[in-house]
Structure 1
Amino acid sequence: MAFITACSTKDVPEPEFAVTPRSENYALGDSSFFYFTGNPYYITFYSGEQGAEYRYRNRITAAGTPQLEFTSYRQGGNQDNSLQLMISTDFPGIYDSASVYSENTHWTDITDRATLSTGSNNTKSGVVDLSDFLNDGKPVYIAYKYTGQNTNVAQRTWTIPLFTVTNVLEEDDRKMPVAASVADAAWAVVKIKNANVQWKISATNLKVTGGAAGSEEAESWVITKALVLNKATPDKGKPIKNMAANALASHYYIYANPGTYTATFEVSNTTVYESKTSVKEVPVTITP
């Protein structure tokens, strides 16, 4: 009996690929050329510039300084201390009064770190440093707590038109968005007292409208989604060849700034059955 052996059609070959630069040094504005041999199914190019470094392709966190900034607008009424800025490292993410006031939930009042409106619209908070709440990469929650008193003067109305949290990277001062806008923070309202005086959430702002003089006591919280203060955005490469394309003989790129970069080519032979990958790095110096 004869036995015939053959490679399975599911086998994926190792990618054969080599890259040779025309030069390792280029003047600013010149085209940096890279010449290829081999024909991998896919080629992705990382220039080595900020936002396109291969070493950061899977990064989701990075050391930095988390900074909160917002604007506020106080209107009407004559009650003091009606708005508080709060933060928690152990809020469970369950948006109800029991969780807000649980003995296991601890809120820190950081109102004194920010500048609040005293009647002017779009009052800037200034930069609020949240470094002391980094919490080993675990999420935190930021809240605005509103209170209205039962007195003979009207309760305050507050609007928060702008809200951002940014991780300013230790390495290069690049700003990584943790919450890029009011909408991106994905707020939820927790009603505590007086259903008629509660935060309202829109795509562009947060607003709570206080009651008239003599209104019953009010309390309302509006709380962000879980925020990872050391969040970072993964760097991205540019796909320059796919499986359907013919063999690629070269690639050129123009760098925007002088400096020393590591140009990286990630190549792969990938099918539905498996993927085999190889990485080639080329140093590039751009002179002024």
Structure 2
Amino acid sequence: MQRLSFIILAALAVLAVACTKNMEAGTPDFQVSLDPAKRVADTFTYKLGDTTRFLFSGSAGNIAFYSGEAGKRYANRQLSYGIGDIILSFSSKSEFGTQKNTLKVLATNKLAGLDSATVVNAQWTDITSRAALATSATVVNSGTVDLTDLVANEKDSLFIAFKYDGVTGSTQRTWTITNYVVSNVFPGMTYTVGSLSTDASYWTRYGNVWTPASARWTATANDLKITGGNASSATNTSWIVSKPLYAGKLPPDVSTGIKSINEPAKTGYDYKYNAPGIYKATFVAFNHTLDEERSVVRELIIKVIP
């Protein structure tokens, strides 16, 4: 009986060790090479339109590729921050009536709350003069409205507001805003910070009079619109304010999956760059289990000439 108990305890001990041991992933034995005839020092040179043929040796369960082009850089694979030129652009048209100066475009990075008192009394910067506005039903593009000076740092927020004033006594104007986009612009890359298509549900409306009920902004994925009343309508002030725009928040760059663990081994990969420049092409090869992942990174400098 004692011998049986000892055997059971030993078996349980072995089972416990087996259950607590992690499933290990081996480090990939993976190398990348290019045509040595293209090499000068540490750079491989190709003409625009040529196919860059990367040759693989060794093996890896998974392979991802960063071409080094804008939006596809290994160094930017994690969320980061940076300020380029913060640019607002939109189109407008103004219909009916002859009332002047009925629309103001405002911006602030100091909005402590979204209640009406806080919004109306905030330190808004009037940026109307920076934009071209319509004077009739003919659609006018605002041009490039530079807001960089209104962003204090890369983690600062920015709010855009359209403020409408319609006065009783004459036909009030109707405004339509389309093609609204706020961008963070770097050389060779533009990040969209806000747009009508993505922000339709996030605009907030304020005002002191809702007579007629239509004297209030509406927001859709296609436009922002406010319909003025007739000559007998009350004087109206109506605001519509964007969500907080974190202009310096940059999305991570992305890779292209070349091979997954379920696919057969690959001997290489062909890629064609679409513009002259110098690119750091990066391959990440990795093996993983439920418990761990091991990877290797291989980088090559590619120069594409006209």
Normalised TM-score (structure 1): 0.88
Partner of 2:236: 218
Contact 1:122–1:161 (CA under 8 A) maintained in structure 2: no
Change (3 A) 1:160 1:258: closer
Residue 153 in structure 1 maps to residue 203 in structure 2: no
- CA distance 1:27–1:79, change in 2 (3 Å): closer
Where does residue 238 of structure 1 map in the other structure?
A: 256
User: Quick one: which amino acid aligns to residue 117 of structure 1?
Assistant: A
Counterpart residue type for residue 101 of structure 1: V
Q: Which region of structure 1 is more displaced relative to structure 2, 255-264 or 121-130? A: 255-264
- Pair 140,259 (structure 1): closer, same or farther in 2 beyond 3 Å: closer
For 1:121, the equivalent position in structure 2 comes to: 138
Q: SS of the residue aligned with 2:250?
A: coil
Letter in 2 for 1:270: H
User: 1: distance between equivalents of 2:101 and 2:276?
Assistant: 52
SS at match of 1:154: coil
Q: 1:287 to 1:156 in 2, by over 3 A?
A: closer
1:12 is matched with which residue: 15, 21, 25? Answer: 25
- Matched with 1:46 is 66
| Structure 2 equivalent of residue 55 of structure 1 | 75
Q: Does 1:166 align with 2:183?
A: yes
Q: Which moved more, 1:250-259 or 1:134-143?
A: 250-259
In structure 1, C-alpha distance between the alignment counterparts of 2:269 and 2:151, rounded to whole Å: 42
Residues 125 and 273 of structure 1: is their aligned pair in 2 closer, same or farther, counting only changes over 3 Å? same
Percent identity (aligned) = 35
User: Does structure 2 retain, via aligned residues, the 8 Å contact 1:66–1:166?
Assistant: yes
* Change in 2 beyond 3 A, CA 1:281/1:198: same
Task: Please give the alpha-carbon distance, in whole angstroms, between the structure 2 residues aligned to 1:20 and 1:93.
Answer: 56
Higher helix share: 2
Task: Specify the alignment match of 1:108 in structure 2.
Answer: 125
- Specify whether residues 145 and 20 from structure 1 end up closer, same or farther in structure 2 by C-alpha distance, changes over 3 A only: same
Match of 2:147 in 1: 130
Aligned to 1:28: 48
Q: Give the match for residue 176 of structure 1.
A: 191
Instruction: Report deviation, 1:231.
Output: 4.0
Contact 2:176–2:225 under 8 Å retained in 1:
yes
Give the conservation status (yes or no) of the 8 Å contact 2:113–2:119: no
Aligned twin of 1:97: 116
Q: Tell me if structure 2 keeps the 8 A contact 1:193–1:217.
A: no
* Residues 46, 52 of structure 2: 8 Å contact kept: yes
Q: How many residues align?
A: 281
| C-alpha spacing 1:257/1:72, structure 2 compared with 1 (3 Å) | closer
In terms of Rg, which structure is larger?
Answer: 2
Q: CA deviation at 1:173?
A: 4.2
Give, as a single letter, the amino acid of the residue that structure 2 aligns with 1:276: R
CA 1:9–1:174 in structure 2 vs 1: closer, same or farther (change >3 Å)?
A: closer
CA contact (8 A) 2:83 2:247 kept: no
- State how far apart, in whole Å, the 1-side matches of 2:21 and 2:61 are: 18
For residues 17 and 50 of structure 1, the distance between their equivalents in structure 2, rounded to whole angstroms, comes to: 26
**Map of 1:68 onto structure 2:** 88
* Residues 160-196 of structure 1, C-alpha deviations (whole Å, 9 max, x = no match): 1221111221xx24222112x3232344232322222
- 1:248 partner amino acid: K
AA at the equivalent of 2:133: L
Matched residue SS, 2:60: coil
Which amino acid is the alignment partner of residue 135 of structure 2?
Answer: T
CA distance in 2 between partners of 1:155 and 1:177 (Å)? 34
Q: Secondary structure at the match of 2:231?
A: coil
Verify the 8 A CA contact 2:22 2:291 in the aligned structure 1: no
Decide whether aligned partners of structure 1 residues 287 and 84 sit closer, same or farther in structure 2, where only a CA change above 3 A counts: closer
**Alignment RMSD:** 2.3
Q: Distance between the aligned counterparts of 1:236 and 1:198, measured in 2?
A: 41
Contact preservation (8 Å) 1:261, 1:284: yes
Gaps of 5+ in 1: none
Q: Secondary structure at the match of 2:29?
A: coil
User: Equivalents in 2 of 1:44, 1:72: separation in Å?
Assistant: 44
